[in-house]
Amino acid sequence: MAESDHKARQEMLDMWRIYRTTKEMCRDRGYNVLPEECSISFDDFARKFGTESGAIARGQMNFSAIPSEDMVRKYTPPATPKVPNPEAAIGTLWVEFNADENIGMKNLREFIHHLLNGSYYSGIMIVVKPLSGMAMRGIRGASALNGGNGPKGGIEVFLEQDLKINITKHELVPTHLLLSTEEKAQLLKRYRLKETQLPRIQVTDPVAKYYGLRRGQVVKIIRKSETAGRYASYRWAI
């Protein structure tokens, strides 16, 4: 009995950390997240998402997030004569905590249906164990699924394990700032560069994953240097 209590409490602690990292991640990407959501205390968390027996109810932790105005601006391509009012390539996000240990195409299909029925732009699945190989393929090409009518912004998957700590809070991880399409164009113009000439960052890189970088985006990386003060560099996501 005491053994299982201890296990339940450990799991509750883990989920509390994971929940806070997830909220911080959404905030850092530019979604509207309240400060108290990122700093929720363990007791509040356990009260809100625990069952009477002290177990965690993951389904209760699911949430949606709306992009801030600034985020919408960053994700809106510049107007052109052909497209005078371009649509922002971002929208409401759905985040789901899935307790299932065996997640395959069936769960993915349900997730996609939920995204489409709720008109969500993109989704994040936080899972206990890695998805089946087929489901991972489905995630990679999610927007092409459902006969080309999948969620526009795609689906991302995180293992609970990877969100127990927030890697961007590590002192060696410098600040990453996403450039808007316009800022990117200005940067390339100022330095007379082609994007292919920039150093690169893979979208599968843990920090890139944290920020949800997409192929073609450029991030500004600001390091603190003992000799040069602050030092900025740029990376092109591939």
Partner 1 sequence: MPPKSILKKTPAAASTQTAVAVAANAPPPPRAVNQRHLNTAVHHARIYEQRKQVEADILDAVFELLDFPTSPDADPTRPSPSDAHRFRQAIVPFQPSDYDGLIEERNIADKCGYTLCPRPKGKAPSTARKQFVETSKGVQIVDRKRLEMWCSDDCARRALFVKVQLNEEPAWLRQGDYGTEIDLMVKNTEEHHEALPLRLKKTAAPAPKDTEEEDAAAAWAARDDALADLAIERGETPGRLSKVNKDLITDKIKERVVKFPPTPPSLPPQSSGQSHMAIEGHVPKSARDAEQAKDSDDEDDKQDWDKALPG
Residues of this chain that bind partner 1 (CB under 8 A)? 102-106, 109, 132-135, 137-138, 141, 144-148, 191-194, 197
Shortest Cβ 82–partner 1 spacing (Å): 11
Q: Where are the beta strands (DSSP E) in the chain?
A: 63-65, 93-98, 122-127, 155-159, 175-178, 200-201, 218-225, 229-237
Are 104 and 133 in contact, with CB atoms under 8 Å apart?
Answer: no
Shortest Cβ 83–partner 1 spacing (Å): 12
Shortest Cβ 102–partner 1 spacing (Å): 5
Q: At 111, which helix (H) or strand (E)?
A: helix 105-117
Quick one: tokens of 117?
A: 């029925």
Q: Where are the beta strands (DSSP E) in 46-121?
A: 63-65, 93-98
Cα–Cα distance, 159 to 185 (Å, whole number): 35
Are 36 and 44 in contact, with CB atoms under 8 Å apart?
Answer: no
Name the residue nearer to partner 1 (CB basis): 70 or 110: 110
Find tokens 């509207």 and name the residue: 32
Shortest Cβ 183–partner 1 spacing (Å): 19
Report the half-sphere exposure of 208 (CA within 13 A, side-chain side).
Answer: 18
Shortest Cβ 155–partner 1 spacing (Å): 12
Shortest Cβ 67–partner 1 spacing (Å): 26
Name the residue nearer to partner 1 (CB basis): 126 or 145: 145
Name the residue nearer to partner 1 (CB basis): 27 or 109: 109
Name the residue nearer to partner 1 (CB basis): 54 or 141: 141
Cα–Cα distance, 155 to 108 (Å, whole number): 9
Name the residue nearer to partner 1 (CB basis): 35 or 148: 148
Cα–Cα distance, 109 to 145 (Å, whole number): 9
Name the residue nearer to partner 1 (CB basis): 206 or 216: 216
Cα–Cα distance, 116 to 61 (Å, whole number): 20
